[in-house]
Amino acid sequence: MQRLYFLFFLSSVTMQSQEQKLVWSQEFNDSTIDTAVWNFETGFGHNNEEQYYTAREKNIFIENGNLIIEAKKEKYNSAKYTSARINTNGKKLFQYGRIEVRAKLPEGKGTWPAIWMLGENRERDGYPACGEIDIMEFVGKDPDHIHGAIHYPELDNIKMNSLTKKFPLPNSEDGFHVYAIDWNEQSISYFIDDELFYCFTIANAERKGRDNIFQKPFYLIINLALGGKWAGKIDNNILPARFYVDYIRYYKPENI
């Protein structure tokens, strides 16, 4: 399967096209989640989030061709809420190419779904040394926008640089949108429904004395958080809340 993309880079007035071939996908058409690809994270989240992540089928499952993460109001291991978070660390890594995720976001204040990536050196070097690519983040208190972001450290691996872009969420009859990044050695471009809304120049992360952290493999993470520093107060009336993922597709240029 091949697709032809016309990429408009913010740093250039020229247009370039590039053929890309589908090299991997998760279509979620099976009855169970593929544990050869996905790890289930458990425990409390970060950023003062209020949910406890579990690997239970009541929090994460496949239904009608969609991966579903369902956040619930329930007492569990000293938490008042439960949800799920999965990642491909140690099982599937990504470096360059286009990653697309077709998803439907939950509604309501306090929800915080995300599609994001961390560098494969996370366990070895820690955070923020590994770098972070946020393909899509959303907070229910701001229902009309999505966010794309990039995070990378200074040479001391303590001070962190963060660049974010907020973009209006387009209308959709069924609530689904395609969130994507197109990543090469020079840039990471962010899209929603094939519309470019942000482009990060990788040279901005260059630091003398080390390799650029965005020129190495990353792994994928999908989760639904509740509350915390950014999402804020949770509206219990909207729970349970569901985050739907229809598919994940990874394309790479023919010459890579």
Host domain of residue 146: 19-253
Provide the pLDDT for residue 132. Answer: 98
Using DSSP's 3-state secondary structure scheme, residue 125 falls into helix
* Mean of per-residue pLDDT scores for the chain: 92
User: What's this model's pTM, rounded to 2 decimal places?
Assistant: 0.92
Q: Is the pLDDT of residue 12 over 50?
A: no
Number of domains in the chain: 1
Query: Of 19, 41, 132, 185, which one is the catalytic site residue?
Result: 132
State the catalytic residue, choosing from 50, 100, 120, 137.
137
CATH number at residue 128: 2.60.120.200
Distance, in Å, from the CA atom of 53 to the CA atom of 55, rounded to the nearest integer, reads: 7
User: Has residue 11 been placed in a domain?
Assistant: no
Q: Residue 18 pLDDT more than 70? A: no
Q: Looking at the predicted structure, is the pLDDT value of residue 73 above 90? A: yes
Is 45 inside a domain boundary? yes
Residue 19 has a pLDDT of: 85
Q: Tell me whether residue 179 is in a domain.
A: yes
| pLDDT tens track for 193-202 | 999 999 999 9
In-domain check, residue 7: no
Active site residue 173: no
Q: Residue 6: pLDDT above 90?
A: no
Question: Length of the chain, please?
Answer: 256
Assess whether pLDDT exceeds 50 at residue 211.
yes
| Catalytic status, residue 49 | no
Q: What stretches of 122-208 show up as alpha helix (H) in DSSP?
A: 122-125
- CA distance linking residue 113 with residue 138, whole number of Å: 6
In tens, the pLDDT along 129-166 reads 999 999 999 999 999 999 999 999 999 999 999 999 99
Q: Does residue 2 lie in a domain region?
A: no
Q: What would the pLDDT profile of 25-67 be if each residue is shown by its tens digit? A: 999 999 999 999 999 999 998 889 999 999 999 999 999 999 9
Of the pLDDT bands very low, low, confident and very high (cuts 50, 70, 90), residue 255 is: confident
End-to-end CA distance of the chain: 16
Tell me the C-alpha distance between 18 and 25, whole Å: 20
